């Protein structure tokens, strides 16, 4: 788990600093938004980010003087003036941050066919579920955070084998979205924003039993 958090922190810094140096206060805000830093913490004091900074070869640079000055973090630059790649920096995290999103999530969702719903799910509702699943995986930061927090395929995607919409209280987080957006994600709960009626709801992580299955195992789901 610690290594996973280090990889996420390193990836956040690598992407943020890829084009240019960034001020420490802005990096603080980005780290808090990603759930990697507490409200009263700063990246310069957090061991997680100090290790990531060292592994990426990030340098601190003073910008300005006196009270109006501040500190920037910047990646080492390659010969063409671009940020050096992880392989060029020989980061000790190389290879660890490549599969932050579990492969079975990606492969499972890829098998879902929008236009071929299970018999017990209306076409429009199935289409929305598949769109929500794909949007979740496209947000690599959110999906990798879910994995880091211990959410598994069942707690995210699973449902009842028959008439899943009648048992949403037993289904995974993605079934609860229905076009909404995850705005907070924690170890045992999440907050969903629903733009249609401008409301938010809290989803509690479910206990999985033998009646729950993964959606890509349902009849009529594309398997080839």
Question: Model confidence over 153-193: pLDDT tens digits?
Answer: 999 999 999 999 999 999 999 999 999 999 999 988 999 99
In this structure, the answer to whether residues 133 and 84 fall within a common structural domain is: no
The enclosing domain of 24 has a CATH number of 1.10.10
Per residue in 1-14, pLDDT (tens digit) is 556 777 888 889 98
Mean per-residue pLDDT, 100-112: 89
Helix axes 140-148, 123-138, angle to 10 degrees: 80
Dihedral pair phi/psi, residue 48, rounded to 5°: -55, -45
**CB-based contact 22:4 (threshold 8 Å):** no
- Sign of the alpha-carbon dihedral angle for 124, 188, 32, 184: positive
Domain boundary among 24, 56, 89: 89
In this structure, the answer to whether residues 117 and 49 fall within a common structural domain is no
95 within domain boundaries: no
Residues 85 and 110 in one domain: no
Is residue 53 included in any domain, yes or no? yes
What average pLDDT does this structure show over 101-119? 89
Q: Is there a single domain that holds both residue 84 and residue 107? A: no
- Of 56, 89, 122, the last residue of a domain is 89
- Looking at the structure of the chain, the number of domains it has is 2
What's the confidence (pLDDT) of residue 139?
A: 86
The verdict on 72 and 114 lying in the same domain is no
Query: Could you tell me if 16 and 27 are in contact, meaning their C-beta atoms sit under 8 angstroms apart?
Result: yes
Residue 56 resides in a domain: yes
What per-residue confidence (pLDDT) applies to 82? 46
Full-prediction pTM beyond 0.75? no
Domain with 47, as residue range(s), is 2-89
Dihedral Cα 170, 151, 140, 224, nearest 10 deg: -60
Q: What's the average model confidence in pLDDT over 86-101?
A: 44
**Contact criterion met (CB below 8 Å) for 75 and 178:** no
């Amino acid at each position: 788990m610690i290594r996973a958090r280090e990889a996420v922190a390193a990836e956040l810094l690598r992407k943020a600093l890829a084009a240019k140096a960034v001020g420490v206060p802005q990096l603080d805000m980005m780290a808090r938004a990603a759930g990697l830093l507490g409200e009263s913490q700063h990246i310069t004091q957090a061991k997680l980010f100090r290790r990531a900074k060292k592994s990426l070869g990030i340098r601190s640079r003073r910008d300005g003087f006196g009270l109006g000055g501040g500190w920037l973090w910047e990646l080492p630059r390659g010969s063409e003036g671009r940020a050096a790649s992880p392989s060029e920096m020989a980061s000790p995290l190389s290879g660890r941050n490549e599969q932050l999103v579990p492969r079975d999530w990606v492969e499972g969702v890829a098998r879902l066919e929008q236009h071929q719903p299970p018999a017990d799910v209306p076409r429009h509702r199935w289409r929305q579920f598949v769109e929500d699943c794909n949007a979740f995986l496209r947000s690599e930061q959110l999906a990798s955070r879910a994995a880091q927090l211990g959410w598994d395929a069942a707690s995210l995607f699973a449902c009842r084998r028959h008439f899943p919409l009648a048992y949403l209280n037993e289904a995974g987080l993605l079934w609860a979205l229905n076009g909404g957006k995850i705005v907070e994600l924690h170890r045992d709960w999440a907050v969903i924003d629903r733009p249609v009626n401008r409301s938010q709801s809290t989803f509690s992580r479910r206990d999985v039993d033998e009646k729950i299955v993964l959606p890509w195992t349902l009849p009529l789901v594309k398997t080839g």
